[in-house]
Amino acid sequence: MKILLMMSGSIAAAKATGLISLWRKAGHEVKVACTSSVFEFVGKATLEGLSDNSVVSAVFEEDNMMQHICLSRWADIIVLAPATANIINKLVAGIADDIVTTLWVAALELGKPMYLAPAMNSMMWNYPATKNSIKQLQNWCVNVLLPQSGELACGENGTGRLMEIDDLNNAIFKKQKDKYILITAGGTREYIDGVRYIGNLSTGRTGAQVADYFTALGYQVTWLGAINAIQPNKPCSKIIYETFNDLSDKLKDLLENQHFDAIIHAAAISDFSVASISINGEKISASRQTKLPSSESIDLKLKKNPKLVSQLLNWSKNLDLKVIAFKLTNTSDKNQQKIAVMKLLKQDGIDFVAHNDLSDITVNQHSFCLYPAEKDKIQCESVADLCKNLDI
């Protein structure tokens, strides 16, 4: 995994170098970006030696003029530790006047998992602007790793200590490593003959992005995707399905025989499959080994497929399985959209419904409205935003 560690000028910067050692020993690639004031506490050579990479401390450096953009795109996870009161309040104000704030502003909309670990005197921590900024960062789905109480660098006792290194590392990784997620993606094919099928518009892009997001956080991800779906970029268990029956069988087998903490059911499943085929009023037998003649009109009789989402909890080995269902509508009528979502959400065993309308989806936009079973809806502007709001 590629981790970008950003550091701001605090005496806790020396403590934070322990993260680099831990991550490197775990096999992660680490790059460091820091404000120039960090060098008052830790030498540049130390950071470069620990990370085995050059350290970036200025927005524009010779031969690296675009580092403030490239680094944020390079990383799988972004961690700002330590984060001073000054840097925290600048982030919320949108000020980008050094490499750390510039990288942060450039990264926030990329949907990367972002962690911030404050470290400061307790009076700075309790300052109203700092408190408000922490709340705003949390509202923006930043994972704030709250400071601990105890003896501070100034000799006083209070809240403001940077989390212990092992606690920081565990907060980012360990919890997720014990979580198993099943993700369905892409669209089913219902075959008419060997070359024709009933399909849908799903590309599987959402499922692939969801899989990449949770894999980057250390979750154990199983991706159950359509044969033509976009696949996750990051390494995870991948299983292919094709038809409704194929998906149903594989879902049942996985849920009955493996423990999953959550299923993110993003597959676009056909509501119908082929019941019979007639040519000129005569029923014929067609299979994947045949090709129907194109010279005649064909009558298809479709049968309704059962709803798989209603079976997920029944099949699950884990009775506490969290189920995240998806609902796509195709109407501008907001009331009709809500009726469709509520109908799905009221089914037993569904914890969240992620809704969007066909009009919400473009090449550059993929927004959702997330409906938790017992909370107010949450507007999510991207797939990453959706993932951040799932309580898994």
Active site residue 70: no
Do 29 and 60 lie in one domain? The reply is: yes
Do 292 and 385 lie in one domain? The reply is: yes
pLDDT attached to residue 62:
62
Kindly report the CATH number assigned to the domain that includes residue 231: 3.40.50.10300
Among 130, 155, 175, the domain-final residue is 175
Among 175, 205, 235, the domain-final residue is 175
Q: Which among 238, 391, 374, 252 is positioned nearest to 310, based on CA atoms? A: 252
Alpha helices in 11-98 (DSSP H): 13-25, 44-51, 67-74, 85-93
List, in order, residues 6 or more apart from 176 with CB less than 8 Å away: 214, 217, 218, 219
List, in order, residues 6 or more apart from 205 with CB less than 8 Å away: 230, 366
Do 149 and 212 lie in one domain? The reply is: no
Q: What does the pLDDT look like over 139-184, one tens digit per residue?
A: 887 889 999 887 777 777 878 889 999 999 988 886 566 789 999 9
Report whether 54 contacts 45 (CB < 8 A). Answer: no
Q: What does the pLDDT look like over 289-309, one tens digit per residue?
A: 888 888 788 888 999 999 999
Taking the CB of residue 55, how many other CB atoms lie within 10 A of it?
Answer: 22
Do 6 and 74 lie in one domain? The reply is: yes
What is the rounded distance in angstroms from the CA atom of residue 6 to the CA atom of residue 266? Answer: 34
In degrees rounded to 5, what are phi and psi of residue 179?
A: -110, 135
Do 162 and 189 lie in one domain? The reply is: no
| 1-17: average pLDDT | 93
pLDDT attached to residue 146:
92
Both tokens of 117, joined, read: 């670990």
Distances in Å between the alpha carbon of 261 and those of 141, 171, 180, 184, 223?
Answer: 22, 18, 5, 14, 14
Do 111 and 95 lie in one domain? The reply is: yes
Do 215 and 167 lie in one domain? The reply is: no
In degrees rounded to 5, what are phi and psi of residue 100?
A: -70, -50
Position 65 pLDDT exceeds 60: no
Catalytic residue among 34, 141, 154, 236: 154
Do 125 and 156 lie in one domain? The reply is: yes
Q: What is the pTM of this model?
A: 0.68
Q: What's the Rg (C-alpha) of the chain? A: 25
Do 61 and 99 lie in one domain? The reply is: yes
Q: How confident is the model at residue 68 (pLDDT cuts 50, 70, 90)?
A: low
- Please, what is the Cα angle at 33 between 27 and 36, to 5 degrees? 145
Q: Residue 25 belongs to what domain range?
A: 2-175
What is the rounded distance in angstroms from the CA atom of residue 265 to the CA atom of residue 326? Answer: 7
Do 51 and 188 lie in one domain? The reply is: no
Among 175, 194, 221, the domain-final residue is 175
Task: Domain count for the chain, please give it.
Answer: 2
